[in-house]
Structure 1
Amino acid sequence: MISIIGIAVVFIMVLGGYALAGGSLAPIMKALPFEMIIIGGSGVGAFLLSNDAAAVKHTLKDLGKVFKGTKWQPQDYQDLLCLLFELIRLARKNPVAIEEHIENPEESSIFQRYPKIQADKEAVNLISDTMRSASMNYDDPHQVEEVLEKRIEANFHHAMHSPHALQSLADALPALGIVAAVLGVIKTMGSIDQPPEVLGKMIGGALVGTFLGVFLAYGLVGPFASKIKGIVEEDAHFYQLIREVLIANLHNHSPNICIEVGRQNTPAHNRPQFAELEEALKEVKKEAA
């Protein structure tokens, strides 16, 4: 909702301020379709030229994040801590029993209690692969931490491609606006024998290209890139939390200490309260019993 409000404010303040200052929207509306074809079309072409099909698809999908916001909410962080607590507790109690959950998480009764996390393949794979390594006595915490860090970093780098691609497009749009404006000037110079009032309208139409390029870059595409970047960085904390808890587990801390390490490393606005988490963990113990 806040993104929609932001877009509305941008349009109202720019066009409304122009209109209140006595400007006429008629020349802008008349030139807008043609300038949009030049600027928007060349921008899309440049975007397609500089990215492969997978990156284009990924970016288009990520545009929805501008309006949806972050994927992981405070309740999801608490659910993740409860899930990890249950898995660690079972692995300590019965190392054989944990195998069915990490080898086939889609059918796991533990994972099924947390459907949103279960639906995220990367989160499930991070948990399963790390716990599988521990069950194979690959339990050097520093080695596992390094592997996890590289894996999370690679996934983060991939997720950041969308905001980088959009920011590159935003950087190009003002120049493409100048291209459209220059074409408009060329058209105007071809009609230099026309009266001043005609030439004035033609020059005004040409300048719409410069306006549109700068407006799209700094009013829409650039902010879209910044918003997606912030969301990707925010959601990355969820996977970092998995790393923190599982590394604490490899250091042979008790399950409660492992979960507290994770809680303390959760961003403040998503961090569950200690008492609330304790109650949730008690419910987990009751269900397991």
Structure 2
Amino acid sequence: MFLIIGGIVVMASVLGGFVMVGGQIMALWHLNEVIVICGSALGAYMIATPPKVMKAAFRAPLGLLKGPKYRRQEYVDLLKLIYEVLMKMRREGMMAVEADVDNPEESAVFQKYPKVMADHHMLDFITDCLRLMVGSNMNPHELESLLEYELETHHHEALEPAHSVQKVADALPGFGIVAAVLGIINTMSVVGSAPPSEIGLKVASALVGTFLGILIAYGYVGPLATAMETRANEDAKAFEVVKMALVASVRGYAPTVAIEFARKLLFSDVRPTFADLEADLKAAKG
């Protein structure tokens, strides 16, 4: 919602200020300038960006409109899932969760949390980590190091769309200058044969190119890239929470303590209180 509101505020502020000094809004609309700036920016983006990253970048605005993937309740469900798995391992042994890990879709534990099941990246991360715990003799330091490498790779991949869009924002003022230069070239070609009024209109049209390039870059594409980066950082927190809980368990801490370690990593706006989470864990245990 704020994505749309912010875009409207930017446009209303720019156009409102222009109109207040007597400007005509249609004087800012030149389709040829839009084609030069946006078309060349899109072409350069296609040259520089792998198809996988490009598809993710085009899907990102829709994801921003939907809101974050993990809110307070989703984090509670995630912690409850990890808690139940750790409790089962503590009561019945490490091998007791082998069937759950191999077939989470058929697991009675995993089926209780459909929102976590719907996140395939998270599900794969959890099951892969549990396989390492069940099928290997890795010590806590080795497991933590391996998971940190995996999270670093995952986070780098998640940030690629935002970084690619930011590069477009950095280039847009330059494409605005290209459009302006083309307009000046067109203006100079008619100097001496066209009346001053026509030359003035052509110069104004050329300056609109610089205006549009700067406005699109700093008013829309740059902030969009920042929002995408922020969302990627927020989504990465869920993976860090899982890593902390599992590593704490391997170090020998009780499931309740391991989950508390994970809770401490959450941002304040999505972190459940100790008492609320304890009540949820007791309900899951019951």
Report the TM-score when normalising by structure 1: 0.96
Task: For structure 2, list consecutive stretches of 5 or more residues without a partner in the other structure.
Answer: none
User: What letter is aligned with 1:146?
Assistant: S
Equivalent positions of 1:68-107 (< 5 A) are 68-95=66-93, 96-107=95-106
* 1:273 corresponds to: 273
* 2:137 corresponds to: 138
User: What letter is aligned with 1:259?
Assistant: I
User: What letter is aligned with 2:252?
Assistant: N
Q: Which moved more, 1:58-67 or 1:210-219?
A: 58-67
State the alpha-carbon separation in 1 of the partners of residues 64 and 97 from structure 2: 39
Matched, 1:228 2:225: no
Matched, 1:117 2:128: no
- What is the DSSP-based 3-state SS (H/G/I as helix, E as strand, rest coil) of the residue aligned with 1:165? helix
User: What letter is aligned with 1:7?
Assistant: G
* 2:151 corresponds to: 152
Matched, 1:172 2:171: yes
State the alpha-carbon separation in 2 of the partners of residues 236 and 114 from structure 1: 19
- What is the DSSP-based 3-state SS (H/G/I as helix, E as strand, rest coil) of the residue aligned with 1:76? helix
Report the TM-score when normalising by structure 2: 0.97
**Contact 1:35–1:209 (CA under 8 A) maintained in structure 2:** yes
**How far 1:171 moved relative to its partner?**
0.5
What per-residue deviation string (whole Å, max 9, x for no partner) do you get for residues 220-267 of structure 1?
000000001011111111100000000000011111111111112222
User: What letter is aligned with 2:131?
Assistant: R
**Contact 1:181–1:208 (CA under 8 A) maintained in structure 2:** yes
User: What letter is aligned with 1:121?
Assistant: H
Percent same amino acid among aligned pairs?
39
**Contact 1:66–1:224 (CA under 8 A) maintained in structure 2:** no
**Contact 1:163–1:225 (CA under 8 A) maintained in structure 2:** yes
**How far 1:113 moved relative to its partner?**
1.2
Matched, 1:61 2:59: yes
Aligned residue pairs: how many?
284
What per-residue deviation string (whole Å, max 9, x for no partner) do you get for residues 76-100 of structure 1?
1111110000000001111333111
Match of 1:41 among 30, 39, 42: 39
* 1:24 corresponds to: 24
User: What letter is aligned with 1:107?
Assistant: E
- What is the DSSP-based 3-state SS (H/G/I as helix, E as strand, rest coil) of the residue aligned with 2:96? coil
- What is the DSSP-based 3-state SS (H/G/I as helix, E as strand, rest coil) of the residue aligned with 1:43? helix
User: What letter is aligned with 2:133?
Assistant: A
Matched, 1:162 2:164: no
User: What letter is aligned with 1:251?
Assistant: R
- What is the root-mean-square deviation in Å for CA atoms of aligned residues? 1.1
**How far 1:122 moved relative to its partner?**
2.1
**How far 1:66 moved relative to its partner?**
3.0
**How far 1:47 moved relative to its partner?**
0.4
- What is the DSSP-based 3-state SS (H/G/I as helix, E as strand, rest coil) of the residue aligned with 1:98? helix
* 2:7 corresponds to: 7
User: What letter is aligned with 2:11?
Assistant: F
Q: Which moved more, 1:119-128 or 1:163-172?
A: 119-128
* 2:107 corresponds to: 108
